[in-house]
Amino acid sequence: MAKKILIIGGGISGLCAAHELKRRGFEVVLLEAKSRAGGVINTFNESGFRAESGSNSVMVQSQKTLDFIESLGLNGRIANSSAVSKKRFFVKNGKICEVPMSPLKMIFSPLFSFAGKFRLLKEMRVPKHDPDSDPSVAQFTIDRLGKEALDYGMNPFMAGIYGGDPEKLSMKYAFPPFWNLEQKYGSIIKGASAARKEKKAAGNFFKPVMISFKNGLVELVDKIKEGLKNEIILNAKLVSVDYDMGSWQACWTNESGDGCDIFDEIILALPAPEIKNLPLAGTLSARLGILDKIEYAPVVSLTMGFKKSDISHPLDGFGALVPEVEKKYRILGALFVSSVFEGRAPADCATITCYIGGMRYPELFEKSDAELEELALEDLKGLVGLKGSPMFKRIFRWKNAIAQYNVGYGDILEEIGEIEKDFPTVKLLGAYRGGVGVSSCIENGLVLADKIRQ
């Protein structure tokens, strides 16, 4: 008889696991608390403008993720990011400044001073960190690359990925590529080219690609949901989960009535802070208290549409991230959405998404929509020379937007591993483990399904 699996949480992580388990012949039930599955991923269209509620794109990091997307039949639906979006901007002295992506551009870049550039070169001679240490992103960057690289490099970069605070984030866990290069090659600069050559020689070099879909990221979750019509239960409130004689008995309720069933395994695929609210059996619930230590950044995503003629900057890039030291601005960054993907704004118009809050300014999450709009418009005036008012706007608030892999996160991971050993039929899945990006969530869902099969 096919094993029966209960998945709690229908974001991209839970959906991918459910899809893969079903494909492999398991019986699956997915409980989603809201009236739609998809989690933070959704797309809204109005008068030719498009706003994503959460993620704007997927940075595909592996062939496995690409194969999965193709297996869904979404091949022809992929929207590749534009060539111009390879250009990225940070803010320096109140102005947008191109991030140098090549050594030659770095030499002439105004983003770093002469002394700052010279300090970067010294990175090759800095001793590596103790492998058992867990330096913050800020400490690691200062040690290896200097303070300027932190202020005008890592700080805005971490705001872009995590909405995070580099003083708190762990380099080892929040940005493992740098940590691994240092540990393996003794230098990030030397290691980057050596690692690339090694991967190419071994034939496993995958160049990450940034994609969305012709109708936005919602296409991805909609396609997965299509195959799970009978498995997803929406507006579901879990009432009890008890362990008895080697199985889990779960009961829930929704508008169509009450449900109860027996499961071989359960997957918790909801944000870490929500897990403590689940009515799980006592000992398991107590052990899962560790997940409460995982902080989440609150993020507001405000998308607005403008006439291009109201903006003096050509918006010829992916977007602009604001370093914390640039106190003139309150947004974390602005994404030039319509420059990245086609079909995001009507002709002669532009769509921009501003991200607000994060660990830098969590208090802004409490501001009203009108206050946040005013603040974002003021910042866009300074950043891209905005003159007019928005023709379109859409705001999304995520209290538990992005999990923070802070210093000490290794202990939490270890305990998660112990919990799964002590409760082998309980699996923990989601952006709080193994990567916050959509690509990681997809891959982790698929890998988990494979583990359960084995």
Terminal Cα-to-Cα distance of the chain (whole angstroms): 16
Task: Indicate the residue among 198 and 274 with the shorter CB distance to ligand FAD.
Answer: 274
Among 216, 430, 448, 452, which residue interacts with ligand FAD (rule: CB under 6 A)? 430
Q: Measuring CA to CA, which residue among 351, 365, 432, 368 is closest to residue 399?
A: 365
| Tokens linked to 414 | 């270890």
| Residue 357 touching ligand FAD (CB under 6 A) | no
The dihedral built from the CA positions of residue 98, 99, 104 and 110, taken in this order, carries a sign that is positive
**Other CB atoms closer than 10 Å to residue 348's CB: what's the count?**
8
3-class secondary-structure state, position 428? strand
Please report, to the nearest 10 degrees, the dihedral formed by the alpha carbons of residues 220, 221, 223, 226 taken in order: 180
Among 350, 401, 428, 449, which residue interacts with ligand FAD (rule: CB under 6 A)? 401
Q: What is the DSSP letter of 99?
A: P
Amino acid at 306: F
Asked if residue 49 lies in contact with residue 216, where contact means CB atoms within 8 angstroms, the answer is: no
Task: Indicate the residue among 186 and 279 with the shorter CB distance to ligand FAD.
Answer: 279
Segments in 186-299 forming alpha helices (H): 188-202, 218-226, 272-275, 282-287
Q: Give least dist CB 59 to ligand FAD, A.
A: 6
Could you tell me how many residues of this chain bind ligand FAD (CB under 6 A)?
39
| Residue 166 touching ligand FAD (CB under 6 A) | no
Cα Rg of the chain (Å, integer) = 23
Segments in 233-368 forming alpha helices (H): 272-275, 282-287, 337-340
Task: Indicate the residue among 166 and 357 with the shorter CB distance to ligand FAD.
Answer: 357
Among 264, 274, 310, 378, which residue interacts with ligand FAD (rule: CB under 6 A)? 274
Q: Give least dist CB 6 to ligand FAD, A.
A: 11
d(CA 15, CA 37): 8
| Residue 271 touching ligand FAD (CB under 6 A) | yes
| Residue 436 touching ligand FAD (CB under 6 A) | yes
| Residue 158 touching ligand FAD (CB under 6 A) | no
214: phi then psi, degrees, rounded to nearest 5: -55, -35
| Residue 321 touching ligand FAD (CB under 6 A) | no
Q: Give least dist CB 441 to ligand FAD, A.
A: 5
d(CA 145, CA 122): 7
Task: Indicate the residue among 299 and 407 with the shorter CB distance to ligand FAD.
Answer: 299
The residues in 228-257 that bind ligand FAD, with binding defined as CB under 6 A, are 236, 238
The residues in 8-67 that bind ligand FAD, with binding defined as CB under 6 A, are 8-14, 31-34, 39-41, 54-59
**Spatial CB neighbours of 164, under 8 Å, sequence gap ≥ 6:** 137, 158, 174, 297, 358, 359, 402, 404
The residues in 403-422 that bind ligand FAD, with binding defined as CB under 6 A, are none
Selected range binding ligand FAD among 125-133, 174-182, 340-348, 434-442, rule: CB under 6 A: 434-442
Q: Give least dist CB 10 to ligand FAD, A.
A: 5
d(CA 63, CA 205): 10
| Residue 402 touching ligand FAD (CB under 6 A) | yes
Site string for ligand FAD, 276-315 (x = CB under 6 A): --x--------------------x-x--------------
| Residue 170 touching ligand FAD (CB under 6 A) | no
Sites of contact with ligand FAD (CB under 6 A): 8-14, 31-34, 39-41, 54-59, 236, 238, 269-271, 274, 278, 299, 301, 398, 401-402, 430-431, 436-439, 441
